[in-house]
Chain A
Amino acid sequence: MTTDSQGRFSFSRGVHPPDSKHLTEDKPIAPGPPVKELAIFLSQHIGAPCQATVKKADTVQAGQEIGECQGFVCAPVHAPIAGKVKEITLRSHPVLGRSPAVTIVAESEIQPTPPAFTLPDGFDPQQYAPEQICDAAREAGLVGMGGAGFPTSVKIQHDAKPPKHTLLVNACECEPYITCDYRIMLEWTDQVIAGIRLAQRACGVSKVFIGIEDNKPKAIEIMTDALQKLGLGETMTVARLETKYPQGGERQLIDAVLGETVPTGGIPPQIGVVVLNVATAAALADAVINNRPLTHRVVTVTGEAIANPGNYYVAIGTPVETLIDFCGNVTTKSAKVVMGGPMMGLAIADLSTPITKTSGAITVLTKEQIGQAKFERRQTACIRCGRCLEVCPENLNPTRIAHAVKSNLLDVAERYFIGACIECGCCSYVCPANIELTGYIKTGKIFLARQRKKMPV
């Protein structure tokens, strides 16, 4: 455990981008845009894609399973609204390119409203068997909602080896602009804590840490108070973290709070740690207590180019376009639509791309802002200043790897541990020569994956 002079936890290196959370941090979670047509991807998680269980022209109920699991590491998908299946076609997916999606058309427009969550009287996680919690998470199609989308049921399994000792709740939200997790903590506090307790029960850990960056003092206060009130102060601790990017990267979070290192290429369970995002914890409570599948999520629509930025409760499958229109459209200066935050989010070209379980934000940036980013500015040769090495949270040599990829020397890139890169974007962010280091490294990883599969590079 490493704390600085102010008693905050942190990791080494990293960057301090302006957090820009003022745009939406005081906007309560509001009902999202009314929708008539939704496109639900069959692959919204890490693992095997789902198989559609409905056909064209079938009628579906709200909450009905429309895609079933095809493997152990998988999460089913459900229909957010009642309606008819219009088609099952390829749609542009933010990560996978073109991917199959089920399009559902409702009879009339339906506006999603956040359901009232009430904790049953005398709620006690001990009432639920660990298997029961896991099964509920699996049936509800829960995945990590922080961005990676790893199926939650696999993560919180009880009998997995080695035994787990600590649950780390990731409430850092270190990406600039995004505030959905922050609002969830403020408004759905009981639900979040119930979810955390259920996850703790499921994986059988004794210690729980909730990591929150210190640019969200209100969330730290509310969570601490709530834990105090419930008398959970002994097993659950709120860890105040330095506001630094990528504090919410799970490897960095584990290093900051527990002082432990996840081996390169490894995952947190190897050292007995489970990392869960707060939004996922809230969804877990809903899934276990109310049997409600994951069909809606809170999305922050933000960026200087959005007329009315805010946090909305949105049906999964809503096109980005609809969401942007709902927020008063965009100003003429807009130039880039990013699914996610500006550091790791994916820029999209097709605005009909639907929201997935992992999209926490839509950030629309202006020309001026992206004018400050790499491709607009004049790029020079690498001057080997070493800033990328200074900020790399994984202690890599980004410039060496990126230039190896550029020269098509994939073996050199591997010798400099390209696989250990977490693609956080710190190197590109600081580069004075404006080289897209992260972009080269991502490309190199794709090339290597293709090479291993003996596909043409």
Chain B
Amino acid sequence: MLKDITVSFAPHISKPLSTRRVMLDVAVGLIPAVAAAGVYFRLHALLLIGVCVAWCVATEWFCNVIRKKPNSLGDYSAVVTGLILALALPPGLPLWAAAIGASVSIVIGKMVFGGLGANVFNPAMVGRAFLTASFGVLMTAWAVPATIDSAMPAISQEGVVDTRTQATPLAWSKIAIKQQAEAETFSSRQFLSTLTGEVGGCLGETSALAILLGAAYLIWRRTINIHIPLAVLSSALVFGGIAYLIDPETYVQPFFHLTSGALLFGAFFIATDPVTAPLTRRGMWLFGIGVGAITMVIRVLGEYPEGLMYAVLLMNAVTPLIDRLCRRIPAGGRPNA
């Protein structure tokens, strides 16, 4: 007869799905971007990715040891943090700086809050913000993709690291516009390059096609839902469009904003980090619109050419408020209403 019968709450069956599987999906979704980074920035890119991932995993393990907590590496979230951080770094960054960024990501970004699920800010963006604040010069040195020679206009500076560098399309357009150069022709010429990724920029951010390929996989797997990326991109388009309409001489056309810089990568892989984004659909739209708007404000009005990182971090901070604001109302309406 029966021995050791288990008693627990219903339901007694469940979908074969786990946190590890979700994280693994994100990692798989990042493969095209990693591959693109490998193609355009060669060995150093792969080294950077390797160092970030390894360092994130090691730091998390170490944190668990000193906190005397069970090992949490099995959920693979450290791997994902490492990948996203690496793909948001400039290709010429020294490996030691990447390692520092990875440690900050895990320790300050995640473990001090209590580990996965408890962090307020996107860990990878915390690490990147730390690096931007600490090593400003290193973080804005953009190596030219190895596949092209020097197709970009001549605003480049002396190589900081052991390679040639150049301005990113966004930074370039900003400077060029200030000098009243031929911004219009430039941006349309560069538009194609931003799709394939043959431009300067962060490792994973340059190739729009690789990003979209990975994003399509995540949406097909239902690992991310479309609402946040859609909100980020459409609000960026709207605010970029407003700026362009106000003064087409000064600002680049809005579609250029979408494919350049971190916007696409951020919309699909950074802003969609479930832990730090709102839960409800209305909340997701509010969050996404906020990210898009702040990014455009920084890009158009601010000193930085790029603003997605700060936009995500700022919106992360208000996520609990958004969640409170956008409560779900039961299907049957409010009780006794």
Contacts and interface: CB of A to CB of B under 8 A. Distances in A.
A287 B336 CA distance: 37
A31 interface: no
A381 interface: yes
Contact of A263 (B9, B77, B280, B333): B333
A416 B327 contact: yes
B330 A432 contact: no
Contacts of B9: 347, 428, 436, 438-439, 442
**Chain B, interface residues (CB within 8 Å), range:** 35 or more
A374 B2 CA distance: 21
Nearest to A438: B9
Given A264-B330, A397-B279, A380 B75 contact: yes
A255 B331 CA distance: 10
Contacts of B7: 336, 347-349
The majority secondary structure among interface residues of chain B is loop
B13 A429 contact: yes
Contact of A335 (B5, B279, B332): B5
Contacts of B21: 432
B18 interface: yes
A420 B335 contact: yes
B115 A261 contact: no
Contact of B13 (A334, A369, A378, A416): A369
B2 A337 contact: yes
Contact of B116 (A262, A380, A417): A380
A455 interface: no
Given A337-B5, A347-B7, A438-B9, A251 B117 contact: no
B11 A395 contact: no
B17 interface: yes
Contacts of B336: 265
A428 B17 CA distance: 11
Given A370-B6, A400-B279, A264 B334 contact: yes
B22 A385 contact: yes
A265 B332 contact: yes
A273 interface: no
Contacts of B72: 380
B210 interface: no
Contacts of A263: 332-333, 335
Interface centre among A17, A385, A417, A425 (most CB of B within 10 A): A385
B22 to A, nearest CB: 5
A429 B11 contact: yes
Interface string A403-414: 000000000000
Interface in A374-423: 374-375, 377-378, 380-387, 389-390, 393-397, 399-400, 415-417, 419-420, 423
A323 interface: no
A118 interface: no
A432 B13 contact: no
Given A381-B116, A383-B117, A347 B332 contact: no
A130 B274 CA distance: 56
B280 A383 contact: no
A365 B72 CA distance: 30
Contacts, number: 195
Contacts of A17: 13, 15
Interface residues of A, number: 76
Interface string B1-34: 1101111111111111111011000000000000
A338 interface: yes
Contacts of A265: 332, 335-336
B275 interface: yes
Interface string A82-93: 000000000000
A418 to B, nearest CB: 10
Interface in A318-367: 321, 324, 329-330, 334-338, 340, 342-349, 351, 363, 365
Nearest to B114: A381
B328 interface: yes
Interface string B313-337: 0000000000100011111111110
B112 to A, nearest CB: 15
A389 to B, nearest CB: 6
B277 interface: yes
B332 A420 contact: yes
A417 B22 contact: no
B118 interface: yes
A258 interface: no
A215 B82 CA distance: 46
B17 A396 contact: no
Contacts of B225: 386, 390
Contacts of B8: 336, 347, 373-375, 436, 439
Contacts of B114: 381
Contact of A397 (B4, B13, B280): B280
B10 A395 contact: no
Contacts of B18: 377-378, 380, 432-434
Contact of A343 (B10, B328, B331, B335): B10
B14 to A, nearest CB: 5
Given A381-B116, A389-B328, A432 B22 contact: yes
A397 B322 CA distance: 14
Contacts of A439: 8-9
A92 to B, nearest CB: 11
Contacts of B6: 335-336, 347, 370, 375
Interface in A234-283: 251, 255, 261-266
Contact of A264 (B5, B280, B327, B333): B333
B274 A396 contact: no
A430 B275 contact: no
A386 B279 contact: yes
B13 A345 contact: no
Interface in A431-457: 431-434, 436, 438-439, 442
29 contacts: A17-B13, A251-B332, A261-B332, A262-B332, A264-B335, A266-B332, A321-B1, A334-B5, A342-B11, A346-B10, A347-B7, A351-B5, A365-B13, A369-B13, A373-B13, A375-B6, A377-B18, A380-B75, A383-B274, A384-B274, A384-B275, A384-B279, A386-B279, A397-B280, A397-B327, A420-B332, A425-B10, A431-B14, A432-B21
Interface of B: 1-2, 4-19, 21-22, 72, 74-75, 77, 114-118, 225, 274-275, 277, 279-280, 323, 327-336
Interface of A: 12, 15, 17, 176, 251, 255, 261-266, 321, 324, 329-330, 334-338, 340, 342-349, 351, 363, 365, 369-370, 372-375, 377-378, 380-387, 389-390, 393-397, 399-400, 415-417, 419-420, 423, 425, 428-434, 436, 438-439, 442
